Structure 1
Amino acid sequence: MTEVRFQPCIVIPVFNHEHAIGAVVQRLLPHGVPLILVDDGSFDAGARTLDALAAAHPSRVTLLRHAHNQGKGGAVLTGCRHAHAHGYSHALQIDADGQHETDDVPRFLAQAQATPAAVVVGYPVYDASVPRARYYGRYATHVWVWINTLSLQIRDSMCGFRVYPLASFMALAEKCQLGQRMNFDTDVLVRLYWDGLSMANLPTRVGYPSDGVSHFELWRDNVLISRMHARLFFGMLWRAPRLLARHWRAR
């Protein structure tokens, strides 16, 4: 079997994060990994900031642009399609708002290189300042993910800091419609697990967005997430024998 060359890039979905994205890019550049910024229909100020970043680092930063906002999932899909078409083997997804620990990029990429067929999934390590409601509220999704995979292999499906093997990611994107907005992060992990990929869970410090911008829309995104969990549940039912067999083989 021919060994696949490990060629990673970093994909960053961006929507109106003009106050944070510059600092995020500056922290990522020293890692020496090409950056793909996806402008998901940002307003003028955000678009100008991204244009300036791409112009300042033409050999390091690729800027893709949506004419209209498609949502976080849509932006990640655009970035990953571009990466796969240009020969990258893995894409590290990180948010544009500064909440993720960029110093952990080498550790995530090292894990991806060591286990190239796995998804490297970050799970948040919060400090004492995290609101209890936010912390415990995540467990509703955690429980649904454990039900819909019949496993505990995905420790946190909501953290947007992870590494995808692009061949498997694109194969999944070609055969099904993934969530386009805040339902994307969980949807893609459950479906990649269903496709047989293993999950390498790594702890990572997560803080609050440095620019104070959140694009979570309470009613719309909660409805989308609820529908996603329902679809995944019914998808799990007919996959249950195979998922249980996988679990027992692993034991």
Structure 2
Amino acid sequence: MNALSSAATQASQTHLVLIPSYNPGESVFGTVSAARAQWSPVWVVVDGSTDGTAERLQALARDDAGLRVIVLPENQGKGAAVLHGLELAAAAGFTHALTMDSDGQHPAELIPAFMAKSQAAPAAMVLGRPVFDDSAPAVRVRGRKISNALVNLLTLWAGVGDALYGFRVYPVAQLADVMHGKRWMRRFDFDPEAAVRLCWRGVKPFNIAAPVKYLRADEGGVSHFNYLRDNVLLTWMYSRLAVGAILRLPLLFWRRVAT
């Protein structure tokens, strides 16, 4: 991890990068290196990985004060790994966390810009709005349009640019409080439900365009998305949120009118 930027060497006391990681293979090392080149501190929550990456990440952390690796004994899901990191971050005094995937899809070079926006508007959440290239599977792009339409409806068009893109800066206390009050948001349902429930709390979303790269298997790409299981999970999530939106409709409508 050479040629670190000043932001990567001068550790922030309020904002950290949080990377949940489950069996990502070699891609996680490029992701962590790229994140550390842009920011300090970077925390990786290894979510019960069995591919040997936990031990190698821990070895890297021993030689890098800006890198912390937390290892969970069993796989619990992305949301659960993020929540574990949030709880530790809050205990350490951090107020905001930028989440990014460990598989190399997210643009580490934009970390400083996202953090700067969050620092300028600490009460808000900063959401990545994905810019797709030819590597993006058409079925995934079409599916996102459905998710985005549903999230906009559930929040009365509060301004969520993308429901599923996990490159985001969250206020730690607000998100942890939301998650502690719910038994869900622990797996693939984490990103869209987090955006919806934070909007319901009045957390304003800011959107920044960010490229997303879908890596082929021969490029080190790893996907744990299961079309049947995770689409069932999302359907159940949107059904639950629809009930919550109906109950909150007067408040949501008043906020829209007030703004």
Shorter-chain TM-score range? over 0.9
2:197 aligned to which of 185, 191, 194: 191
Checking the alignment, whether the CA contact within 8 Å between 1:6 and 1:113 is kept in structure 2 is: no
Checking the alignment, whether the CA contact within 8 Å between 1:119 and 1:163 is kept in structure 2 is: yes
Q: Is there any run of 5+ residues in structure 2 with no aligned partner, and where?
A: 1-11
Partner SS for 1:23 = helix
Partner SS for 1:31 = coil
Identity of aligned residues (%): 38
Report the equivalent of 2:145: 139
May I ask how many residue pairs the two structures share in their alignment? 245
TM-score by length of 2: 0.90
**Is residue 2:81 matched to residue 1:72?**
no
**Is residue 2:130 matched to residue 1:124?**
yes
Pair 114,178 (structure 1): closer, same or farther in 2 beyond 3 Å? farther
Checking the alignment, whether the CA contact within 8 Å between 2:20 and 2:82 is kept in structure 1 is: yes
Q: Is there any run of 5+ residues in structure 1 with no aligned partner, and where?
A: none
1:46 aligned to which of 50, 53, 63: 53
CA distance in structure 2 between the aligned counterparts of 1:150 and 1:6, rounded to whole angstroms: 35
CA distance in structure 2 between the aligned counterparts of 1:6 and 1:177, rounded to whole angstroms: 30
The one-letter code sitting in structure 2 at the alignment partner of 1:12 is I
When the two chains are superposed, the root-mean-square deviation of aligned CA atoms in Å is 1.5
Report the equivalent of 1:154: 160
Report the equivalent of 2:183: 177
Partner SS for 2:52 = helix
Task: Give 1:152 deviation, angstroms.
Answer: 4.7
Partner SS for 1:117 = coil
Runs of 4+ aligned structure 1 residues displaced above 6 Å come to: none
The one-letter code sitting in structure 2 at the alignment partner of 1:155 is G
CA distance in structure 2 between the aligned counterparts of 1:200 and 1:141, rounded to whole angstroms: 18
CA distance in structure 1 between the aligned counterparts of 2:154 and 2:13, rounded to whole angstroms: 31
Task: Give 1:105 deviation, angstroms.
Answer: 0.4
Report the equivalent of 2:94: 88
Write out per-residue CA displacement over residues 115-160 of structure 1, whole angstroms, 9 at most, x where no aligned residue. Answer: 1000000010112443332212211111111121111511101001
Moved more, 185-194 or 120-129: 120-129
Write out per-residue CA displacement over residues 101-122 of structure 1, whole angstroms, 9 at most, x where no aligned residue. Answer: 1110010001000110000000
2:30 aligned to which of 16, 23, 48: 23
CA distance in structure 2 between the aligned counterparts of 1:206 and 1:109, rounded to whole angstroms: 18
Report the equivalent of 2:120: 114
Task: Give 1:6 deviation, angstroms.
Answer: 6.5
The one-letter code sitting in structure 2 at the alignment partner of 1:148 is L
